[in-house]
Amino acid sequence: MDTKLLTVKSLLAERKREEALNIAEGIADRYWRDYALKWVAEAYAENPGRAMDIAQRIVAPTIRDETLRSLSYLFSKEGNFKAALEAARMITNQFTRKKAFRTVSNYLAKSIIQKGVSEVRLSELDLTDRDIEDLKPLPYGLAYKDGKIMPGAEILPIKGEMKMGIIPRFEKRLEGRTPPKPVFAGEDTEKTEYVSEYILKLIDEGNLEEARKLAKGLAEPMKSALLEEIGMEYLKRGNVETAEKIFEELVRADMLGAALIELHPEDENRIQYYLSKVYNPVTRLLVIYEATKRKGVREDFLRRTLLWATDEWKLGRILKFLAFEMLNEAKRTGDDGLRKTSKGLFELGKRIENGSLIKP
């Protein structure tokens, strides 16, 4: 791991975005550079043009898509739906792009309902008919007609007629409004796309068990992506047991693994188990940093959880860098205990690094 990565993180925490960008672009390893650029792009969310320009510099398609999805979410939260849609359209992965559109659609619905008005013109939102096409199907309870979005409106088959009345989000839909349940047959791309759309709709409605059953019938990587999303929803509803069962079924679970660790911050065995399926190295490093702050320096734990540091020299360098980060935090907070932990971490890193240089 390039130690400049956490330097970027620290600079962003201090709002030194341009300085962080310069360091990020100077990282030699492409993988780590992409992650650093992701953080910088997100830090510029208040400036959509700048944020998306930085996101487009990311080389790895998966990290770039992840960044654009994150930006789309951040823009939506601020009510900038035009920018949110632009970011979503740049996403190359079909499934990730659909999830981004769904997020924009949900925030749009929330924004309109909070206004407490009977209708909102697209021009008020700086949106066009094309934008609405990307957001369809709109969340239940919203209808679109003649350049206007109406909350609590249902368009009837009779042309031009409009019937008002709130449609509760989780109630059973009127006959004909819910798409038919998909049938699995082969690896047809179009059918897989329809099934994934149907599963996302079930998740949105809260029908998680049915969504889980259908997701298990898909091929990878769509299967794992949807199951992890379902696991996160179970966790939000307080059903930790089911979320953990879904975690066991997954090969990779970056989001779900990190979320489960937050529930058991004192249990080192659980931390190690959950980290075994967290492949995002930055997430792993931050978890280890927080665990060391709480429990102190334990060499065995650090070696077991930093397995991706493939040699002693790298391990020593990472530990020393974490020590410097911890020392900076101790100085900011005046925490003497944290200062002592930082010193112990630095000494361990130095010993391991020096030991790697001793010739047999």
The pLDDT score that the predictor gives to residue 3 is 64
H or E segment and range at residue 151 = strand 148-151
Dihedral sign, Cα of residue 87, residue 90, residue 92, residue 94: positive
Mean pLDDT for the stretch of residues 331-336? 86
Query: Is it the case that residue 235 has pLDDT exceeding 90?
Result: no
pLDDT interval class at 192 (50, 70, 90):
low
The pLDDT score that the predictor gives to residue 309 is 59
Q: What is the pTM of this model?
A: 0.57
Q: What is 221-244 written as a DSSP string?
A: THHHHHHHHHHHHHHHTT-HHHHH
Find out whether the peptide bond into 281 is cis, omega within 30 degrees of 0: no
In terms of Cα–Cα distance, which of 351, 273, 282 is closest to 315?
A: 351
How confident is the prediction for the chain on average, in pLDDT? 79
Q: Which two tokens stand for residue 191?
A: 């059918």
H or E segment and range at residue 153 = strand 153-155
Mean pLDDT for the stretch of residues 30-56? 92
pLDDT interval class at 120 (50, 70, 90):
confident
* Beta strands 142-145 and 148-151, pairing class: antiparallel
H or E segment and range at residue 336 = helix 336-357
Residue 262: what residue type? Answer: E
Phi, psi of 310 (to 5 degrees): -70, -10
Percent over 90 (pLDDT), the chain: 23
The pLDDT score that the predictor gives to residue 324 is 86
Mean pLDDT for the stretch of residues 185-207? 68
Query: Is it the case that residue 161 has pLDDT exceeding 70?
Result: no
pLDDT, tens only, 50-99: 999 999 999 888 888 889 999 999 999 888 989 999 999 999 877 788 88
pLDDT interval class at 43 (50, 70, 90):
very high
Higher local confidence (pLDDT), 343 or 200: 343
DSSP 28: S
C-beta of residue 242 within 8 angstroms of C-beta of residue 234: yes
What count of other Cβ atoms lies within 10 Å of the Cβ of residue 61? 13
CA dist 81 and 89 (Å) reads 12
From 57-66, 110-119, 185-194, 264-273, the region with the lowest mean pLDDT: 185-194
Q: Which two tokens stand for residue 298?
A: 């334990």
pLDDT interval class at 359 (50, 70, 90):
very low
Mean pLDDT for the stretch of residues 236-243? 89
H/E/C letters for each residue in 117-148? CCCEEHHHHCCCHHHHHHHCCCCCCEEEECCE
CA dist 211 and 233 (Å) reads 11
C-beta of residue 23 within 8 angstroms of C-beta of residue 4: yes
Mean pLDDT for the stretch of residues 130-158? 67
Dihedral sign, Cα of residue 160, residue 164, residue 165, residue 170: positive
The pLDDT score that the predictor gives to residue 191 is 56
Query: Is it the case that residue 45 has pLDDT exceeding 90?
Result: yes
Q: Which two tokens stand for residue 86?
A: 């632009």
Higher local confidence (pLDDT), 305 or 87: 87
